[in-house]
């Protein structure tokens, strides 16, 4: 990629991950340039975070479109104005159509709050607690047509604490997301991590397993 990686961030809600990107880029050592934030919900607090940071915002309400494809085409048409190199899904609660994914093949990232391939889909924290798992975490991956199924890049793992609630676990997972997501996106922006033939390549080598960062129960990276 070029010397700057023009990045579009897509959100639907609070945007704490968006805030993590804003803070990370403000640190000055990132290749990412946050070009635009797009939301499918007008009340997403992330839009305010973006405005506060001086990032252009776009809101397209999916309910105003006749179909998923029509919405996705409108999103792509809007994003085209910024010619983004990278799309970062940060709590964007819409499934993207095959056409959209193909248009940005290998250039869309998502973060999913589970140790994929375990627990794709919703309610991951409660499902982890119900299963009595010892470890939980979050995974940054390339987006493909398969929901939460694209090749993995970076995983943050942390121990589950006996007796904690799903909300407490979710908060601890989110805190590590804020550390791993901008880092993984930077690797992609720098070209260190690539999507090739449906797989993740790291430093020129196919990566069957993601990079793993392990955190302690307080969220400190070990």
**Nearest Cα to Cα of residue 155 among 169, 170, 131, 136:** 136
Scanning the structure block, which residue is given the tokens 């033939």? Answer: 197
Count of residues that interact with ligand GRF, criterion CB under 6 A: 15
Could you say which of 174, 188, 210, 211 contacts ligand GRF (CB under 6 A)?
174
Shortest separation between residue 47's beta carbon and ligand GRF, angstroms: 11
Scanning the structure block, which residue is given the tokens 């047509």? Answer: 145
Tokens of 71: 């919405």
Shortest separation between residue 164's beta carbon and ligand GRF, angstroms: 16
Active site residue 112: yes
Strands, sheet with 108-112, edge to edge from the N-terminal-most edge strand: 57-59, 32-39, 5-11, 86-89, 108-112, 135-142, 152-159, 211-214
**Binding pattern for the stretch 11-40 against ligand GRF, x by CB under 6 A and - elsewhere:** x-xxxxxx----------------------
Scanning the structure block, which residue is given the tokens 């995974």? Answer: 139
Binding to ligand GRF (CB under 6 A): which residues in 77-106? 90-91
Cα–Cα distance between 12 and 114 in angstroms, integer? 19
Comparing CB distances to ligand GRF, the nearer of 111 and 193 is 111
Comparing CB distances to ligand GRF, the nearer of 113 and 189 is 113
Asked if residue 138 binds ligand GRF (CB under 6 A), the reply is: yes
Report the residue number whose CB is nearest to ligand GRF.
91
Backbone angles phi, psi at 95, to 5 degrees: -80, 130
Q: Residues in the site for ligand GRF, rule: CB under 6 A? A: 11, 13-18, 90-91, 111-113, 138, 174, 177
Residues taking part in catalysis: 112
């Amino acid at each position: 990629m070029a010397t700057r990686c023009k990045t579009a961030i897509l959100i639907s809600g609070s945007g704490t991950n968006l805030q993590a990107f804003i803070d990370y880029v403000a640190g000055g050592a990132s290749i990412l340039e946050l070009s635009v934030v797009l939301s499918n919900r007008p009340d997403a607090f992330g839009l305010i975070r973006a405005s506060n940071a001086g990032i252009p915002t776009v809101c397209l309400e999916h309910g105003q479109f006749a179909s998923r494809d029509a919405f996705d085409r409108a999103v792509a048409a809007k994003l085209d104005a910024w010619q983004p190199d990278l799309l970062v899904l940060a709590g964007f609660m819409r499934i993207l159509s095959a056409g959209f994914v193909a248009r940005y093949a290998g250039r869309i990232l998502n973060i999913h709050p589970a140790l994929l391939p375990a627990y794709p889909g919703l309610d991951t924290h409660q499902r982890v607690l119900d299963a009595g798992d010892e470890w939980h975490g979050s995974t940054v991956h390339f987006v493909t047509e398969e929901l939460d199924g694209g090749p993995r890049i970076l995983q943050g793992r942390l121990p589950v604490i006996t007796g904690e609630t799903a909300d407490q676990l979710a908060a601890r997972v989110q805190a590590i997301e804020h550390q791993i997501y901008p880092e993984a996106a930077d690797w992609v922006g720098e070209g260190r991590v690539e999507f090739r033939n449906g797989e993740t390549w790291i430093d020129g080598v196919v990566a069957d397993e993601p990079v793993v960062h392990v955190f302690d129960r307080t969220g400190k990276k070990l």
